[in-house]
Structure formats: structure tokens, C-alpha cells
A = this chain, B = another copy of it.
């Protein structure tokens, strides 16, 4: 085949954006940006010229590059239209009531989870996080919940790279694979200080009509007031909520119902957008 099936220009442009994103508050010079993204200096300059004009990137007075406001405009649009978020919100609020702890909603992209919503507990010692944060799949409750429900091929893909040992309790390799099987069986994941010391979470997948884990939610709390036992106690309520959210976005709820889900895909596809439009 003469031409590839994707656009390398687009890929490179987003590599540039990602490189800017990773540099943080200080910004980054054009030269360094080109280096990080692996393109020639003049190429980077040309791409960046377009991105500046679009407001996707910005330059400060010193000439360093930063992310631009256009990204905020697009993200705002996304959050407003996201049916999953609208559908899940009341259930997540209910879960905050039940657990008394902060609940997050996230979606997998690549081998990360992006937080797209948050309902905070009223307690004074809360965990800091923000919508838009990205966390790894392999060491978080939401991430493991998603991994556990992926088919073999996708799971292998997501775990292909070297896995960070963020804490002494982080699971990798065979131990992680075994854990994922357990999670798949019981329906929920526990992050036992595997991502951040002093923080425990319970995470559950949200399945779409095709039986794919399209999102997840988690309850997070300081480990000292959220024991492993508390995690297990909370699980039944959380499972019920996961089922309800999944059903609401069109998942045929039988356990091993991949085939059934597949058959009902057409109808579900037409109904899903409407479900998203409602506010309940």
C-alpha cells in the first residue's frame, strides 16, 4: 500500500502538543520542543505556527511555548455533550452519599485513564485531583477495572510497555495478570496503595452495549480511614451502581453476554444518544 492509514502530520502535531503539555509551567523553547517530539527544527516551527494561530498553543513574552485556550474551549464542549458523564452523575452522587468519600469518573485513552468527572465528599481531609488528570491503568482501581474487562489482545497491548512501580505495592507481571483475573471474576478492583502511598480506592468498570469497558469510576480515600475491609463492604452497592450506569448507556446486563450484547448493538446504538440527552 502506497499510503498509510493514518496521517503522520496529525500524529506529529499532537506529539508537539503533548511535549508542551509535559513541560509544565516553565514552558519550552522551539529547539527543545523539536528534540522531544523528534522532528526537525524548521518542521516544528511550521507546525507550531499553525497551532499558535489556532490558539492551541501560546507563547509567553520570553518566547517559550505553552498550551493554549482553544483546548479549554474544546474540552468544555466535550464535557457538556458527554452522555456518559450526564448519565453517571446522579449515581456517583449517590455513591458519595453511601461511602462518604470522593468519587471519580474516568475514561481510558491509550494506557491511561482521564478523569472526566468528580463528586467530592464533605470530609475535610480530601484527596486532591482535578478533571483532566491522567493516571496509569496498571496501578489504579479504575485502570485495573478496565484492564480486567478487556479482551486478551487489548489487554496485552495496554500492558506492553514497561510498567512503573509507583509504590512498593504496585503489581506488575504475573501478579498483575492474576489480580486482573480475580477482578474480572468478582466485578470490582481495589487499589491498595498501589498508585500512591496512603490512598486506597475501589474501582468498577462501566460497560457499553458491545461489552467493552468504556469508562470506570472509583471511590478514593486516605488508607487510614478506608481499610481493605471497608473496600469489600462497599463493593455490593458499587456493583449495583455500575450495573445501573452500564444499563443506562445501553449495555445488555447479563454477565457473560458478549454475544447478546453484540446482537443488540444496532438498537442500542440508536438509543444511546437519546439517553445521554436526558439529565437523569
CB within 8 Å of B: which residues of A? Answer: 3-11, 13-14, 17, 21, 24-27, 46-47, 49-51, 53-56, 60-62, 64, 66-81, 83, 107, 109-110, 112, 114-116, 130-134, 208-210, 250, 265, 268-270, 272-273, 276-277
Give chain B residues whose Cβ lies under 8 Å from the Cβ of A77.
21, 67, 132
Give chain B residues whose Cβ lies under 8 Å from the Cβ of A78.
66-69, 71-72
Which has the most chain B C-beta neighbours within 10 Å: A56, A74, A131? A74
Q: How far is the CA of A68 from the CA of B116 in the complex (A)?
A: 11
Does the CB pair A73–B132 fall under 8 Å? yes
Give chain B residues whose Cβ lies under 8 Å from the Cβ of A116.
69, 72
Q: How far is the CA of A13 from the CA of B67 in the complex (A)?
A: 17
Q: How far is the CA of A209 from the CA of B69 in the complex (A)?
A: 19
A273 to chain B, nearest CB (A): 6
Does the CB pair B71–A75 fall under 8 Å? yes
Across the interface, name the chain B residue whose C-beta is closest to A18: B74
A69 to chain B, nearest CB (A): 5
Does the CB pair A7–B49 fall under 8 Å? yes
Give chain B residues whose Cβ lies under 8 Å from the Cβ of A47.
7, 10
Which has the most chain B C-beta neighbours within 10 Å: A49, A114, A265? A114
Give chain B residues whose Cβ lies under 8 Å from the Cβ of A26.
273, 277
Q: How far is the CA of A72 from the CA of B7 in the complex (A)?
A: 22
Give chain B residues whose Cβ lies under 8 Å from the Cβ of A14.
50, 54, 56
Q: A49-B6, A116-B72 are in contact. Are A208 and B130 (CB under 8 A)?
A: no
Does the CB pair B72–A79 fall under 8 Å? yes
Q: How far is the CA of A213 from the CA of B151 in the complex (A)?
A: 52
Give chain B residues whose Cβ lies under 8 Å from the Cβ of A109.
55, 68-70, 73
Q: How far is the CA of A75 from the CA of B67 in the complex (A)?
A: 8
Give chain B residues whose Cβ lies under 8 Å from the Cβ of A132.
72-77, 79-80
